[in-house]
Structure 1
Amino acid sequence: MIVQCFQIISPTSGKVVSDHPGIRVGAEYPVLEVITTAGRVLFRIPERPDVPVERDTPGLWDAAMFTVVSSRVPDCWAAGLEDGQVTLAPKEWQRPGFWDDYFDGEPTAGAEYERLRAEVLAQA
């Protein structure tokens, strides 16, 4: 799935802002993961989808910032449900603690992320 940013909502304040160093209005982004709760939908967007990176720091962004450019869903995505939260993402990323492990630099989580990130980007 590819989305295009048409406004920026600050992840910290929740207010519309004119710019942010992590995202640009008008730019298109592949979606790595979709997370839904009762009142919110978030997209996990890679930091730099256009280049291979040593250590990507994908961010969570409010879906209200985007329009869908391509609705193609990657084959590796699976639906998960935990604590009332629905997630669409690779199953490996849905295990409890995966993102903590990844951002803490755990090698297995890093390898899983890189492999599945490449798969998601190839199918976007």
Structure 2
Amino acid sequence: MDVPLRSDVDHVVLEIYAKSDGPTYFRIDPGQGAAPALFDSRYFDITSAEMPRCWSLRATNHGSLFIGPSAWGSAGFWEDYFDGKSQARTEYERWKAVIIEDSTGTEPFPSSL
């Protein structure tokens, strides 16, 4: 099910994927029963300078970078999530809740920068 992101609301970035040879993507949960997906970061404005406390940096052998919960970076995590495996789904919901909690009440990004 494809659910477009609404442009009139702020979206919480759950994970960042920076390809070594291409664009950077934000993982966002669009809600409405749709699965979390990667969206090209060039289509978004950053509204907060804060990062969730659970994020960590992972680098691949090919030079790509992932910034997000370390549990999501384990081998096969996203495959297990999309295959509907309960442990991956539980980990996703757990860390998504932490990220959303961290994002509430954050200071807006200064407009002078």
Tell whether the structures are fold-level matches, with TM greater than 0.5.
yes
Runs of 5+ unmatched residues, structure 2: 104-113
Report the Cα offset of residue 88 of structure 1. Answer: 0.3
Instruction: Note if contact 2:3-2:30 (Cα within 8 Å) is conserved in structure 1.
Output: no
State TM-score, norm by structure 1.
Answer: 0.75
Aligned equivalent of 1:66, options 44, 55, 68: 44
Partner of 1:34: 16
State TM-score, norm by structure 2.
Answer: 0.81
Structure 1 CA distance for aligned equivalents of residues 55 and 76 of structure 2: 18
Aligned length: 100
Runs of 5+ unmatched residues, structure 1: 1-19
Report the Cα offset of residue 56 of structure 1. Answer: 5.5
Partner of 2:64: 85
Q: For each residue in 1:26-52, what CA deviation from the matched residue of structure 2 results, as whole angstroms up to 9, or x when unmatched?
A: 32100000000122100000122xxxx
Report the Cα offset of residue 121 of structure 1. Answer: 0.5
Question: SS of the counterpart of 1:73?
Answer: coil
Aligned alpha-carbon RMSD (Å): 1.7
Aligned identity (percent) is 33
Structure 1 CA distance for aligned equivalents of residues 102 and 34 of structure 2: 18
Structure 2 CA distance for aligned equivalents of residues 92 and 56 of structure 1: 21
Higher strand share: 1
